[in-house]
Structure 1
Amino acid sequence: MKLKSYLPNYFTKINNSKRAEYKNAKLVFLYTPRSASSGSSRCIRKASTGDGRRVGPDLSECKRTHFKQNNEYDVLLGDTVFGLCEHSERPCGYATLVRDPYERIVSSYSYCRRTRSDPLCRAMSPWKSSITEWAEHLGNYFFQQLIFHPKFCNQFQEYYFPRSIKSDIYLSPPVWFRQKVILSHMLTKQQIDTLVDYCLVNLENWFSLVGLMEHYEISMKMIETVFKIPVERVCVGNQSQNVGQYSNLLIPSENNAIDDKMGIRKLIEELKEDASVARAIQADLRLYARFKEIFQRQVDNYKMALMCTKQCNNGGTCMVNNGVEECKCPTDFAGENCE
């Protein structure tokens, strides 16, 4: 991947002299279904528009295939947007909000019982599958987002054998399922593992900011800090109260009952105890663990900056170093207060 336009992690990979680049950078927000995707993308879109930024159309499924106006927009959002920074003529930063893969699977299992028209739900009916079958069906959804290419929409026909994977297609095959089938015939397990390792090594180079759904409010506040988009007013507070909520759907069948109290926890525990599920979502589990590690270091640096009261001039940033407040100065400035 071309790294020239990429802005690496704001809190863990750069010094203060480079942080000014992020203010006017293009934000590409990658969302994953059932990871506060609708709420977070909606509020980022609203906050960005209110701030006078040009926000592009939602780029989900194969809409990116026909998208040619990359450089006309300041903010792009979607579930297939990863890779767009490679074509940006100005500094470009990715941000994302991730969720525990087990929780995301259970949430989608509940959600897709209410609607099958959503692309997430079109390749298999949760009414006809157990929770473990559903988990294996979704597989490494987030990993696939990181290696998505528009060619998965209408090319690679020589690798597309949909009957080789259990499915129950409704309307038309969603692109994520098509990509899954193609990858299963195109790459060996060893090659997949190599790609996962490559992603793990480069996450901090690719993502300017990673958030966790279980820490939604501070994730949104850090997005504001990095890209200077006033998302806190729009995204934090009442908006966050519904984030991560499972549906209140009660399934009539005794064997498949889902409720907000015992059923959800039971399904999550059932998934965690199943070795076949762990193998099926191994890449996403590894990516999530790495994201949690990065997130914690982001939060540590973010909180240290908030604790500072020292006045720093000329774009300097107050930081706490071993309990002592000091100014980190941009190039061409020095001294205690970056004079």
Structure 2
Amino acid sequence: MTKALPNFFIVKYHDRKIITEKLYQENTTIVFVHIPKSAGTTTLECLRNVAEQRKLEKPQNVWFRNYLSIFNSLKSGKHHRSRAYLGVFALGVCDFVDQPCSYFTVFRDPIERTISSYMYCKKRRDKICHAADARNMTVKQWALHQGSVVFYQLLHNPELCEEQYNVEATDLMKKKGDIKRRNVDIPCWYKQILLLQKRIDKDRRQHVLSFILANMKNLFAFIGLAEKYNETLQMLEKVYDLPFYSLCAGDVKNKSVYKISGDNATDSKTMIVEKLKKDLMEDPEVREVLHEDMEIYNEAVRIFNKQLDKFKGLS
């Protein structure tokens, strides 16, 4: 799947060689794959703070504005290698790095993530909000619109975001009945979803999903969970021998309190999420469009617990 280093805690061999801690900790390229609304902003800032504290080179952001230029320069060999990369489009960097390179990411329950992005996009104009206008949608409509975004993020191909695909993506968007925010282009992440949905039928999608599930432990050197963020930071500190937990424990960004429409009382975010979550989980249409992401999340939980068991055994 990739030449990146496999899971630090549960994979013993890489390229037929025994894995050592040095591979992950000495002059290794670290790549954080940011899944939006999954403790991503918190982790981005933490990685930047860690780099600053250890006097490492500032991490290179791979995001909406520069991903094509970065990947093109990586392919040509002209890109100055950074010690760390981070961003929504960072998956793929390790394919072009000669030194040891590893990915890590943080997953979140797909339904909670969908609700979080819905609430966020009702108030913000972030790129993750541009493919549709959450202000004019119900949470169910938002869930059906977004679908299994992580599944397609793991299939990211920068070439699909080139201008040559704009007309096709726009036509697909119209056929689907989506209405994007005014005066904004179709964001790359959603353009890719539209194009891949056209090219991958249901049977093939299941084969691709099975491949992803079987290889997650080989793709990611570490898998974290937003729901268990302190444990995530503790294990990250062990993997890379960098002060993730020491510097960042308890520092959570974009954590809000929301008001239920029509109710003068303000409930906690957790209470609101639980009410919306129950409705979405019981909806067969929502369960179908989130099928791939639910399977990926369940595997991430399984791997996380395995990592945690190994980590505790090392303590």
Give the TM-score of the pair, scaled to structure 2. 0.88
2:89 counterpart SS class? coil
Distance, in Å, in 2 between the alignment partners of 1:17 and 1:261 is 41
Question: In the alignment, what sits opposite 1:310?
Answer: none
1:72 counterpart SS class? coil
Question: In the alignment, what sits opposite 1:220?
Answer: 233
Query: Contact 1:10–1:226 at 8 Å: present in 2 too?
Result: yes
Q: How large is the Cα RMSD of the aligned pairs?
A: 2.0
Question: In the alignment, what sits opposite 1:137?
Answer: 145
Question: In the alignment, what sits opposite 1:56?
Answer: 59
Question: In the alignment, what sits opposite 1:165?
Answer: 176
Structure possessing the higher relative contact order (Cα contacts under 8 Å, 6 or more residues apart): 2
Distance, in Å, in 1 between the alignment partners of 2:48 and 2:272 is 34
The alpha-carbon deviation at position 19 of structure 1 amounts to: 2.1
2:61 counterpart SS class? coil
Amino acid at match of 2:129: C
Matches within 5 A, 1:1-339: 1-3=1-3, 6-14=4-12, 18-24=20-26, 25-67=28-70, 68=73, 72-115=81-124, 117-154=125-162, 155-156=164-165, 159-160=168-169, 161-170=172-181, 171-237=184-250, 239-240=251-252, 245=255, 247-250=256-259, 252-253=261-262, 260=269, 262-306=271-315
Give the TM-score of the pair, scaled to structure 1. 0.82
Structure 1 residues 187 and 253, CA, compared in 2 at 3 Å: closer, same or farther?
same
May I ask how many residue pairs the two structures share in their alignment?
A: 297
The alpha-carbon deviation at position 157 of structure 1 amounts to: 5.2
Structure 1 residues 17 and 195, CA, compared in 2 at 3 Å: closer, same or farther?
closer
**Structure 2 unpaired stretches of 5+:** none
Distance, in Å, in 1 between the alignment partners of 2:178 and 2:248 is 37
Query: Contact 1:139–1:281 at 8 Å: present in 2 too?
Result: yes
1:28 counterpart SS class? strand
The alpha-carbon deviation at position 249 of structure 1 amounts to: 3.2
Distance, in Å, in 2 between the alignment partners of 1:152 and 1:229 is 35
Amino acid at match of 1:168: I
Amino acid at match of 1:43: C
Query: Contact 2:9–2:311 at 8 Å: present in 1 too?
Result: yes
CA offset digits 1:105-133 (Å, max 9, x no partner): 11111111111x20111111222111111
* Greater gyration radius: 1
The alpha-carbon deviation at position 47 of structure 1 amounts to: 0.4
More displaced stretch, 88-97 vs 149-158: 149-158
Amino acid at match of 1:249: Y
Query: Contact 1:258–1:264 at 8 Å: present in 2 too?
Result: no
More displaced stretch, 101-110 vs 69-78: 69-78
Structure 1 residues 56 and 260, CA, compared in 2 at 3 Å: closer, same or farther?
closer
The alpha-carbon deviation at position 168 of structure 1 amounts to: 2.0
Query: Contact 1:85–1:92 at 8 Å: present in 2 too?
Result: yes
CA offset digits 1:246-265 (Å, max 9, x no partner): x32325457xx986364321
Structure 1 residues 191 and 122, CA, compared in 2 at 3 Å: closer, same or farther?
same
More displaced stretch, 164-173 vs 223-232: 164-173
The alpha-carbon deviation at position 159 of structure 1 amounts to: 4.5
**Structure 1 unpaired stretches of 5+:** 307-339
